[in-house]
Amino acid sequence: MLKYLLTITIFFTLYACVSTPPHPTPDISEYEKQITDWHQKRNDRLNQPDGWLTLSGLFWLEEGVNTFGGSRDNDLIFPGEYVAPLLGTLVLEDDSVSIRVADGIEILIGDSAIHTSGLKKDSNGDPDFLTWGSLTWYVIERGDRIGIRLKDSAHPNYVNFKPTQLFPIDSTWRVPAHLEVFDSLRSVDITNVLGDSEPNPTPGRLHFKLNGAGYTLTPLGDPGDKNYFIIFGDASNGLSTYGAGRFLVIPAADENGNTVIDFNKSYNMPCVFSPYATCPLPPQENLLSIAVEAGEMNYSIEGGH
C-alpha cells in the first residue's frame, strides 16, 4: 500500500498558534493502562538489534564499482574501530546492484556465505540482508537514488537505549472523527526529507474537534485497509516534539464514516532516532495550528537531528 519513505537533518517551521490542551477527565485508569501497554510495546519494538537505533550509515552508490570497508580509501567507509579495511565491492549497473566479497572475508546473506551475488533492493519488498560481524546492510532505492543502509547491533544508541517519554495521558485527546469520502479515488503527494515526492492514496478527509474548534487531517490508505496512516505536524513541533512532525495509526472508518483519532498514540518518526533514516514529511493540509501535547515527546540521541 504505502512505500516506506525513508535521512538528513530537517528544520521544519509551522505557522501555528499554541492553544491550551483539553481538560483531563477525572477517572481514566483503564485508559491509562491501555496507553501504557501500547507505549511499552512501542519501546520494545524500538529496542531491537535491527531497529532504527542501530542505523549507522547511509551511502549512495555511484554508477560502476564502489569499494566498501573500514579503510578511508574506500568509496563507502563503514564506521567502526574493528571493521576490516576492505570488505568488498558493490557494483551499480543501471538499476541493478551486485556484490563481490574481498578475499579472506566472510559475508552472509541469511545463513549462507557468498562470494559474488546480485542483490535485491528494498523497493522489491524483500531486500537481501548482508551481515559481517555486528554489521548488517541492504540496498535501498529512494527516487532516482540507489544506496546502502547500514545497521550495527553494537551501535551506542542501541546499546544505551532509553525509552521514549509520553506527555501525561489525557483521554480527551482521543476524539471521534468522521471521514468525508471523496467522489473519486485521490492521492496526496508525500515528500520525504531528501526532497523526493510520491503520490499516496487517501480515502478522504477526516473532520474532528478539539476544544470546540474544528480541524481536518488527510489520512493515507487504500480501500479495504483496516487502518489509516497519518503524518501530521502541530504547534509543539520543534519545542516538546520532533520538529518535522509525528506519525499516527487509527482504525479505518466504519460503514457510517466514523472512526477515532487517539493523539495519545502519536509516535516519533524514524528520523528522531537516526540521521540515516529517510522520513516522509506531513503534507501541507496536515499542519495543525493547535499544540498536540499528547503521545511521544521529542527524543535526543548522539549525532541525531
pLDDT the model gives residue 280: 96
302: cell is 548522539
Residues 154 and 199 grouped into a single domain:
no
All residues at 6 or more sequence positions from 212 whose CB lies less than 8 Å from its CB, including other chains: none
Does 75 reside within a domain? yes
pLDDT the model gives residue 17: 33
The domain total for the chain is 2
pLDDT the model gives residue 3: 39
Residues 43 and 185 grouped into a single domain:
yes
Does 11 reside within a domain? no
Sites in the chain below the pLDDT cut of 70: 1-28, 302-305
Q: What is the DSSP string of 135-182?
A: EEEEEEEETTEEEEEEEETT-HHHHT-----BPPP-GGGEEEEEEEEE
In terms of Cβ atoms closer than 10 Å to its own Cβ (0-12, 13-18, 19+), residue 124 is exposed
Which amino acid is present at 142? R
Q: Which DSSP helix (H) or strand (E) runs through 31?
A: helix 29-46
pLDDT the model gives residue 19: 39
Are 152 and 66 in contact, with CB atoms under 8 Å apart? no
Task: Answer with the one of 98, 128, 159 that is the final residue of a domain.
Answer: 159
